[in-house]
Structure 1
Amino acid sequence: MTESTSTVSMAGTAPTKGGGRRKLSLPVILLIIAGGLLLFSLVRILSGANDLTSVGQVSGALQLAVPIGLAGLGGLWAERAGVINIGLEGMMILGTWFGAWAGYQWGPWTGVLMGIAGGALGGLLHAIVTVTFKVNHIVSGVAVTILATGLTRYLSNFTFAEAAGGSSKQSPRIDRIDRITIPGLSDWLGEIQAKHWFFVSDLAGVLGGLVTNLSWLTVVAILLVPATWWILWRTSFGLRLRSCGENPVAAESLGVNVYKYKYIAVIVSGGLAGLGGAFLAIVSTGIYQEGQTGGRGYIGLAAMIFGNWMPGGMALGAGLFGFTDSLKLRGGAENVHAMLLLLAILLVIAAVWQLYKKKYVPALVSAVVAGLLYTWYALTDELPSQFVDAAPYVATLLVLALSAQRLRMPKANGMPYRKGQGK
């Protein structure tokens, strides 16, 4: 048996019985997206929240989803090699600081590169502690985040605080990366969306958001999703890396340098998280501010888990979280109020499905919760501002709770490994 064939057998597709679900093919993903868009269109018509799928809403959601998606991609790289990366938040913090520090002095693209380097340094530290010294991955990740928070606060005191337009908690203004809008197509899609037709206008709003006011760094980030899939699932390098997360003992017996691949994966993981941090500082706000990551590293980790450790599913999860985050920025309470109706409809569908599967208790619970949500929606016109602000985090908890039963992480994920362990 050849090395590549054996590695495929260790890092192949997840089983479909007793601990995993089938990988989503492109047609299935497109059907899921189309079904979701139909539901959104129905909710928009019933609730009158016409901004729910507008060009501006989708464009804003995409911008908010990118840093979450980059953090999720970073987590995917590390965990596919068997290293849990709770430190994504800290690596994003390093990316924001280094990206802003270099960006305001030497330009935004230099800031992007330095943001990647800052996150990669955090990844290197996490790799040394977990891979070489076998420290618990969760403890190491939390320590990296605490260290990054303290380090950036300390560095800001004698860098940004002494710069014109800066302070100990924020950087001077950073030049923006150019944005692109496809002329003609963007206006045409915007006109169709403004007519508020069922489904057609919603589809136009989604497509319009993808071709309007788009940063070049957003384009790079989107392309990293298929690039990650191709590298990890279509190259011998990717097969060896994934084998380290599935069965490192067998991988080493075939000549794979497990330590090397784990180091590469965690450093790349940190670099991607750092890129997400640089995106926040340079594209989203144009300035570094202390605490601006706002837990997006953890939400990115949740998106990766929701996506079952696959790039496509992770991208869908990041899009979901970015969308819920954008609701409070455009239309605020009205849009989040409309989401109560969406949740009620989804729970009704879930109840019908559970009845079909003869799971009567879960079906009853889903139906009761759906009724309560619809009652809440029908008896109120808006939601408290505190609930609107908490919407992204509530969505994170709901998604993880609903998807947790059908997930399959890499078999050796989080397990310490010593060189020569299988001999």
Structure 2
Amino acid sequence: MALGTAQAGDATTVPVPPRRRRVPGWARGVLWAVGIIAVLSTASYLTGVNTLTSTNTAQTALRLALPILLAALGGLWAERAGVINIGLEGMMILGTWGAAWGAYHGGPWLGLLAAMVFGALGGLLHAVATVTFNVNHIVSGVAINLLGLGIAKYLSTLIFQPLSGNPRQSPTVPVFDTYSATFLSDWLRDLENQQRVGISDAAGLVDGLVTGVSPLTIIAILLVPVSYLVLWRTRFGLRLRSVGENPVAAESLGVNVYAYKYVGVLFSGALAGMGGAALVLLQGGGGYLENQTNGRGYIGLAAMIFGNWRPGGLLGGAALFGYADGLQLAGGGKAVLALLYGAVLLLVVVVVVQLIRRQWIAAALGVVGAGILYWIYWSNDSLPGDLIPYTAHVVTLIVLAAASQRLRPPKADGARYRRGEGD
């Protein structure tokens, strides 16, 4: 039988369409990174705002992306086990308090461990409510958020107020040391100072990623491939994901559904607690502060959804939101306006691609979006100061709206389950 055909009976053959070769995920990630650097470089050149690709912006973005990344990984572990974790924000809050308490008594490593324990306790409470008692996952998550905030306030008043004199913050605690790849950083800094279009922009962004890096930063980034390998390349991960896709079928194959759901949510809480620790134990932190998370647990959940419940995708989402947050701190209103110009350029590319694919409606929506963003850029010299701190939140809404058509959550995510219900 010839290649590309299938035999039907003894006399006829039916042509089989060739299978499309999928581009590996890592290759798509590299292509996206190159494309985004090209867009930022072009926007920086055309607007004259060098902050878009500066070392300072990249450093700030990396620091702000870490809590979002860790919260997103926490959401991934829970939801791949079939449990919606809206309570990431509350678990992060518990993590911030635990990190400050542990670091005050034993240094940053003890602070990190305490943050994971406090976050995991929040995850345990969520698992008891949703897995054992079948409480609605959204209701339980909201309750965890409120409870985490209340517990942190109570403990701060009880323990930190006698030490700092302020019930809303802890005394200053030690943070992780930072390290730099000195020779590489010096070379990249020279390239950045040469102001070559494209080359200097890429050098500035990369320099920010290899300068002033803490051990917690390295751990958080390594957790992305580790999560992928565990969840997609091990028997344990296959069973945990099967629980999130079809718990009745998993139970029929001898999988302890309750145990795997508990493990997923406990890991979720510990990772969210690590996200809280990143706010306390990195340079620029140095202690617990009330409302320190500022909604980053919710943004982490959005990054996970943007990444389509995949580790590589949520890494891109966390980088995007962290960059938007870091840019407004490093460059202010003019830098955010320049980012809008870069978004216009990106939308132009998207429109061209949609036209090639003959996706007329998507192309028309892209044209409308690009027109609105360009009008905002053209009609303003700088954005109002009251709006700038919400840059990351606005980006979250826009990105989720754009990505909503391609999302594929686990099939049993949020579904109630009782042992033996499939018999």
- Name whichever of 204-213 and 308-317 sits farther off: 204-213
In the alignment, structure 1 residue 416 sits paired with structure 2 residue 420: no
Structure 1 counterpart of 2:267, one-letter code: V
Structure 1 unmatched ranges of 5 or more: 1-21
What residue in structure 2 maps to residue 380 of structure 1?
A: 380
What residue in structure 1 maps to residue 234 of structure 2?
A: 235
- Number of equivalenced pairs: 401
Listed one character per residue, the Cα deviations across residues 304-327 of structure 1 (whole Å, up to 9, x for unaligned) are 000000000000000000000001
What residue in structure 2 maps to residue 8 of structure 1?
A: none
Distance 1:228 1:55, change over 3 A: same
What residue in structure 2 maps to residue 99 of structure 1?
A: 99
State the distance in 1 between where 2:182 and 2:317 align: 30
Return the offset for 1:166: 4.5
Within 5 Å, give how 1:115-130 maps onto structure 2: 115-130=115-130
Structure 2 counterpart of 1:112, one-letter code: L
Return the offset for 1:358: 3.2
Return the offset for 1:420: 1.1
Structure 2 unmatched ranges of 5 or more: 1-21
Structure 1 counterpart of 2:177, one-letter code: D
Task: State whether residues 52 and 339 of structure 2, in contact with CA within 8 Å, keep that contact through their aligned partners in structure 1.
Answer: no
Return the offset for 1:359: 3.6
Task: State whether residues 64 and 325 of structure 2, in contact with CA within 8 Å, keep that contact through their aligned partners in structure 1.
Answer: yes
In the alignment, structure 1 residue 139 sits paired with structure 2 residue 134: no
State the distance in 2 between where 1:115 and 1:368 align: 45
Task: State whether residues 72 and 304 of structure 2, in contact with CA within 8 Å, keep that contact through their aligned partners in structure 1.
Answer: yes
State the distance in 2 between where 1:86 and 1:319 align: 21
Listed one character per residue, the Cα deviations across residues 190-233 of structure 1 (whole Å, up to 9, x for unaligned) are 11112221221122112211210111111111111111111101
What residue in structure 2 maps to residue 170 of structure 1?
A: 169
Within 5 Å, give how 1:172-187 maps onto structure 2: 172-187=171-186
What residue in structure 1 maps to residue 4 of structure 2?
A: none
State the distance in 2 between where 1:24 and 1:97 align: 40
Return the offset for 1:24: 5.6
What residue in structure 1 maps to residue 206 of structure 2?
A: 207
State the distance in 1 between where 2:75 and 2:259 align: 18
SS state at 1:175 partner:
coil
Task: State whether residues 50 and 196 of structure 1, in contact with CA within 8 Å, keep that contact through their aligned partners in structure 2.
Answer: no
Listed one character per residue, the Cα deviations across residues 35-79 of structure 1 (whole Å, up to 9, x for unaligned) are 111111100100111121111111110010000000000000000
Return the offset for 1:363: 2.5
Return the offset for 1:384: 1.2
SS state at 1:256 partner:
coil
SS state at 2:330 partner:
coil
Structure 2 counterpart of 1:262, one-letter code: K
Return the offset for 1:411: 0.5
What residue in structure 1 maps to residue 196 of structure 2?
A: 197
- Name whichever of 277-286 and 222-231 sits farther off: 277-286
State the distance in 1 between where 2:99 and 2:376 align: 44
What residue in structure 1 maps to residue 272 of structure 2?
A: 273
Q: Which runs of 4+ in 1 moved over 6 A?
A: none
Return the offset for 1:361: 3.8
SS state at 2:52 partner:
coil
Q: Give identity over the alignment, percent.
A: 54
Structure 1 counterpart of 2:217, one-letter code: T
**TM-score, length-normalised on structure 2?**
0.92
**TM-score, length-normalised on structure 1?**
0.92
Return the offset for 1:353: 2.9
Task: State whether residues 67 and 296 of structure 1, in contact with CA within 8 Å, keep that contact through their aligned partners in structure 2.
Answer: yes
Structure 2 counterpart of 1:232, one-letter code: L
Listed one character per residue, the Cα deviations across residues 159-200 of structure 1 (whole Å, up to 9, x for unaligned) are 00011x352000000112111011121111111112221221
Structure 1 counterpart of 2:219, one-letter code: V
State the distance in 2 between where 1:196 and 1:51 align: 12
- Name whichever of 191-200 and 130-139 sits farther off: 191-200
Return the offset for 1:348: 2.1
Structure 1 counterpart of 2:394, one-letter code: V
